Structure 1
Amino acid sequence: MTPTCYDLTGRVIVVGSGIAGLVTALSLAPQPVILITRAALGAETSSGWAQGGIAASMGAEDSPALHLSDTLAAGDGLCEEEIAATILGEARGAIAALEAFGVVFNRHPDGQFKLGLEAAHTRRRILHVAGDGAGAAIMQALIQRVRQTPSIEVLEGLEVRRLLVADNRIGGLMAESRYRRITLYTNRVVLATGGLGGLYETTTNPSGNYGQGVMLAARAGAVLSDMEFVQFHPTALDSPQRPLNLISEALRGEGAIVVNEKGERFLGALPGAELGPRDMVARAIGAEISRGGRVFLDAREAIGARFRQDFPLIATLCGQAGIDPAHDLIPVRPAVHYHMGGVATDLRARSSVDGLWIVGEAACTGLHGANRLASNSLLEATVMALRAAEDVSSAETRSVTVPSAPSYPPATDLSIVREIATRDLSIVRVGAGLTRAVTQLLPHIEDDSPSSDAAIVAISIAVFAWLRQESRGAHARSDFPELSMVALRRHMNLREILDTASIIAERSPGHTIQRKDSLT
């Protein structure tokens, strides 16, 4: 299949149609934008599945300073305070922007926002849309506005396979569908490709989302940061379905409790108990399941007959599994939910590659630190999309240096990498397992096998996790259970990651690596 080439000099390409991608495209109007999405517009995005809502300090007893304090506490020493303060301080503007795009937040009869409470927040500051279907409702409004915006051209069913780079500058991208391959030349690309939960067997993310933005940017030479911090949501619906359905911690915010199969409320020793930091709650629930027990959410007394009215989406999901949460216990288990790491960006969403911006979960701004505070993700996605659009608009339009295009890679195979990540990069890690993961992943990268794209993302997690010889936030190691005295964030490009991986692998008896020069 011979690719068709198009010169889009002067036009912006946005890759991804979650909240971050849609807000970026809308905010660039009336500039012409090409929006590329692997599935239908807004489909297969974590944004559309978000239940909790968006965190913003809008209440009379709240403030950006209090929101920042809670965020820093959850981030376990690794938040970039100045960056966090800036993003959280722009919450009101972000909410206003979403409302201008047609999002209707829940309000009281007097016009004040209805504000919910979630784990590790000391104030009610979670804004909802359509009850517990916030993500889908926000997406519906944004998609409708995108389709009404003539400056945005949407290319659906097209997957970006490689970025084209010359002299550390973006020159375009390569994309393909089942029927065609295209090469688009441009000097401005925004990646909004979402998270990496698809690397794992148990996740609340779309199964095909394995960190494509991280892979694309890494292959292009961009610096990655904090890759080891993978957040497990404590309460996914425990069922045979994959991916797992999320059971929002908004239930716990309304008083639902966590019990084991004996009816014991075992989280009492944790700070905040059911509303403690996600990493602690997830590990405690994981430990109960590891010992052979089962874990349940009990909302019968706290919510009871109000359940379907207050949480219609969760009630439907439970009903599909034969559970009536007004009268039954809800079986839950931890599942990969969010990635705090990603492509390192500044407050303008710029990566280390000229002409490449990253927004949403694929980016690592420093807001979340070692453990994301609940519902800060949609806020960050919106704020940084607005900031990216402003910066992209002011970026100099120059002629594109057409780089040489590599051959199209084979279709991605996730099966082998998913097995390794699930086994060795899970909720609790150990050095021997991390070494094993690195040793098994490296050959797939070096041989450029169908597993290589996913392996690049997984090996980045493994290397960062191997280097972090402590337990902090969402990163826990059984061989280094204590918090170290130094709160260190790492920034590495792919060459540095693979060099480190080779050193780790050399410690594995009988393993040899043949390094290649080309990684693009």
Structure 2
Amino acid sequence: MLDAPNAGTAATRRLPGRLTAPPPGWTTRADVVIIGSGIAGLTAALRLRKRVDKVLLVTKDVLSAGSTQWAQGGIAAALGPGDTPEQHEVDTLVAGAGACDRDAVRVLVNEGPEAVRELIRRGAVFDLDEGGDLSLTREGGHHRDRIAHAGGDATGAEIQRALMEAVAARSNIEVIQHALAVDLLLGHDEAVGGNRVVGVTLHVMGEGQRDGVGAVLCRAVVLASGGLGQVFSQTTNPVVSTGDGMAVALRAGATLRDLEFVQFHPTVMWLGPDSRGQQPLISEAVRGEGAFLVDDDGNRFMQGVHPLADLAPRDVVAKAIMKRMLETGKPHMWLDARHLGPDSAAFWERRFPTILATARSHGVDPVTELIPVAPACHYASGGVRTDLDGRTDLPGLYATGEVACSGVHGANRLASNSLLEGLVFSRRIAKVLPGELRPWLDPVPDTRTAGLVAGGVRRELQETMTAKAGVLRSAPGLSEAGAILDKLVGVAADQIDQDSWETTNLVTISSALADAALLREETRGSHWREDFPERDDEHWAGHFDVRMSDGVTTVAFTPSPATDLDLPELPEPAEEGR
């Protein structure tokens, strides 16, 4: 591990070393606790239930409230005629802008097809073509039709339904809903030469005798808690995506990697200047069917920006929209999809029924009206650093899905690889974890400094991160974001509640993200620096890792060779979904 060349420019701020919380009022046990109920968490639970005595699945809301159900596009795997894992690997590496872990990518693409087949055996119903085979489509960065989808644009909802029904049918998977993971419990284990995870504290709402804060003692924890979308004012992520899993891992001593690589979806429906939180996604497949972007004067401003114009990759389109918004002083651009198909209404109802219904619910009819759009936070390519089997560098802690940084996404996730990642790496965790369970161990006293940031600062935090650490970044803006974060950390909560716990997690992750973004003085993938507009492999081929010790974070740079392929540039079709 080497210090970053300019590591001294990153702020050093004291964050809470653990969340202020009442002492546990109840205790229970489980061999493995899984935190999160999307595709990654549900797959891990179903796979582990036969391999350990007791699995406890914890979700902050209801089982269906995570990001999986919102995935519009589909799941990518080499399942079609003429396609191969090797071709999928190439597309993934190219999209990742030299920052992927090639071994992780090979795991993803080689194990992906069987993982999808298992999902189908579990009851997920995908769309079929006239011959009864999977109806496969193509998205941005893919050079083959390899995206399996369900219900046109409701793939995530169908996958969530199938996995939830499978979990409900297994009595040996205990589920606790409405439970926030507060902090991990640690125990000293001489066999591992230090601390390992021995439990987790939860705050449970409305679960009978398990109401309030309690402790689950366990032999391993699997984080599958999703992303950090609520760091920003506008996001496609649900309200539960407050970076909790990343924050609890960081406070406990695990490493976060690549947090600066946040993908912003370019066409998210703009709902007005005061709209905050989850916003409606307008799939890039709409542009793939012929829709195009215009400004207030009707100018198709993507013409000349990129050879593929409106079908350029996400990061290119997001930056172009933001620049046009700044040039015109307008809060959004427009998507014109009124001309799709010979019968526009019938086409929309068949191809994009979910998007059509959502847009109409907000007073816009895409059949006859322009759709207001602006970029919004979509996906975190970074997260808790893991190896190829989902292990973190904190013994007893595993991570999978968006909360993890497995290395497959690099600097810019390839469309529809996220659902596949959750499937593949949850399967790998379930294979190795049972053989790595260590004896029960009691937690040691937690000496980390407790703290809690007031929930009332959340809006200022989100607006700061959107303005200073969003699509367009620069040293002055990121430095200003750091100064504001320093101020917000000092606004202590006057009461203990879930809003303050979540806001503290958001401040913690925002601080790490802003520091890493300030230190990476280049433009790579989804990380755009206006003051460093070119990619710089000589200095920045590698990863920024964030660690914490009792609330004090350090950021260090780990160099690694770029994982590009020497390929000619090929046209990238439209992408959609997650």
Same fold by TM-score greater than 0.5? yes
Task: Give 1:396 shift.
Answer: 2.8
**In structure 2, which of residues 287, 292, 309 is the aligned counterpart of residue 257 of structure 1?**
292
2:398 corresponding residue in structure 1: 357
- Note if contact 2:453-2:488 (Cα within 8 Å) is conserved in structure 1: no
Structure-2 separation of matches of 1:501 and 1:489 = 10
Structure-2 separation of matches of 1:144 and 1:165 = 34
Task: Give 1:21 shift.
Answer: 0.6
Task: Write the letter of the residue equivalent to 1:128.
Answer: H
Task: Give 1:356 shift.
Answer: 0.4
Decide which moves more: 285-294 or 178-187. 285-294
**Are 1:198 and 2:198 counterparts?**
no
- Note if contact 2:184-2:199 (Cα within 8 Å) is conserved in structure 1: yes
Structure-2 separation of matches of 1:470 and 1:434 = 14
**In structure 1, which of residues 384, 390, 399 is the aligned counterpart of residue 425 of structure 2?**
384
Alignment coverage as a number of residue pairs: 500
Task: Write the letter of the residue equivalent to 2:238.
Answer: P
Equivalent positions of 1:29-108 (< 5 A) are: 29-30=49-50, 31=52, 32-43=54-65, 45-108=66-129
Task: Give 1:438 shift.
Answer: 2.0
Structure-2 separation of matches of 1:410 and 1:500 = 20
Cα 1:110–1:172 shift into 2, 3 Å: same
Task: Give 1:345 shift.
Answer: 0.4
Structure-2 separation of matches of 1:433 and 1:228 = 14
Structure-2 separation of matches of 1:139 and 1:26 = 13
**Are 1:231 and 2:272 counterparts?**
no
Task: Give 1:53 shift.
Answer: 0.9
1:442 corresponding residue in structure 2: 486
Cα 1:364–1:234 shift into 2, 3 Å: same
**Are 1:429 and 2:473 counterparts?**
yes
Cα 1:210–1:163 shift into 2, 3 Å: same
Decide which moves more: 351-360 or 234-243. 234-243
Structure-2 separation of matches of 1:62 and 1:266 = 35
Structure-2 separation of matches of 1:499 and 1:251 = 42
Task: Write the letter of the residue equivalent to 2:87.
Answer: L
- Note if contact 1:64-1:88 (Cα within 8 Å) is conserved in structure 2: yes
Structure-1 separation of matches of 2:405 and 2:130 = 38
Structure-1 separation of matches of 2:261 and 2:450 = 31
Structure-1 separation of matches of 2:203 and 2:28 = 16
Cα 1:410–1:489 shift into 2, 3 Å: closer
Structure-1 separation of matches of 2:482 and 2:333 = 32
Equivalent positions of 1:110-509 (< 5 A) are: 110-166=131-187, 167-178=194-205, 179-240=211-272, 241-242=275-276, 243-269=278-304, 270-291=306-327, 292-293=329-330, 294-303=332-341, 304=344, 305-405=346-446, 410=452, 413=455, 414-442=458-486, 444-445=488-489, 450=500, 451-486=503-538, 487-495=541-549, 498=552, 500=554
Secondary structure of 1:13's counterpart equals strand
Secondary structure of 2:324's counterpart equals helix
Secondary structure of 2:462's counterpart equals helix
Structure-2 separation of matches of 1:94 and 1:354 = 26
Task: Give percent identity, aligned residues only.
Answer: 39
Cα 1:271–1:456 shift into 2, 3 Å: farther
Task: Give 1:174 shift.
Answer: 0.6
- Note if contact 1:412-1:454 (Cα within 8 Å) is conserved in structure 2: no
Structure-2 separation of matches of 1:340 and 1:421 = 17
Structure-1 separation of matches of 2:297 and 2:109 = 41
Deviations 1:79-126 (A, max 9, x none): 112211211121111111211221011111322111122222222211
Task: Write the letter of the residue equivalent to 2:204.
Answer: S
Deviations 1:34-78 (A, max 9, x none): 0011111121x1111110111112121322122111111111111
- Structure 1 unmatched runs, 5+: 503-520
Task: Give 1:359 shift.
Answer: 0.7
Decide which moves more: 464-473 or 24-33. 24-33
Task: Give 1:332 shift.
Answer: 1.1
Structure-2 separation of matches of 1:70 and 1:459 = 32
Deviations 1:307-355 (A, max 9, x none): 1111110010111122222232222111000001111001100110001
Task: Give 1:496 shift.
Answer: 11
Q: Note the aligned Cα RMSD (angstroms).
A: 2.2
1:518 corresponding residue in structure 2: none
Cα 1:216–1:386 shift into 2, 3 Å: same
Deviations 1:120-162 (A, max 9, x none): 2222211111110111111111111111111110001111110
Deviations 1:8-42 (A, max 9, x none): 26x11000111111111111122321001111112
- Note if contact 2:115-2:423 (Cα within 8 Å) is conserved in structure 1: yes
Task: Write the letter of the residue equivalent to 1:229.
Answer: F
Decide which moves more: 354-363 or 170-179. 170-179
- Note if contact 1:119-1:253 (Cα within 8 Å) is conserved in structure 2: no
**Are 1:12 and 2:59 counterparts?**
no
Q: Which has the higher contact order (CA 8 A, sep 6+)?
A: 2
Task: Give 1:415 shift.
Answer: 3.0
Task: Write the letter of the residue equivalent to 1:130.
Answer: G
1:516 corresponding residue in structure 2: none
Task: Give 1:271 shift.
Answer: 4.2
